[in-house]
Amino acid sequence: MVSEDKMRNHVDDIFVIAHRYQVEGLKYLCERFMSSNVDINNIVKYCSNIYLYGAPTLEKVI
């Protein structure tokens, strides 16, 4: 569906678009990708995604 390279570079944008257009499968893929790639450089952004858009899969990890 989405290449790993694109996902790595644009996961935040893809997640927001998936949420906006209610593409639940893509939203879930983004959550799983973010969950397995949490680090010091992106944790604040990921936490804001949880707060703004609801991301239960990601929330369990953080």
pLDDT in tens, 22-46: 999 999 999 999 999 999 999 999 9
Q: What's the whole-number average pLDDT of the chain? A: 93
Long-range (24+ apart) CB contacts under 8 A made by 12-18 are 12/45, 12/49, 15/49, 15/53, 15/55, 16/49, 16/53
- When divided into structural domains, the chain yields a total of 1
Decide: pTM greater than 0.95.
no
Domain membership of residue 23 as a residue range: 4-61
Q: Are residues 1 and 26 in contact, defined by beta-carbon separation less than 8 angstroms? A: yes
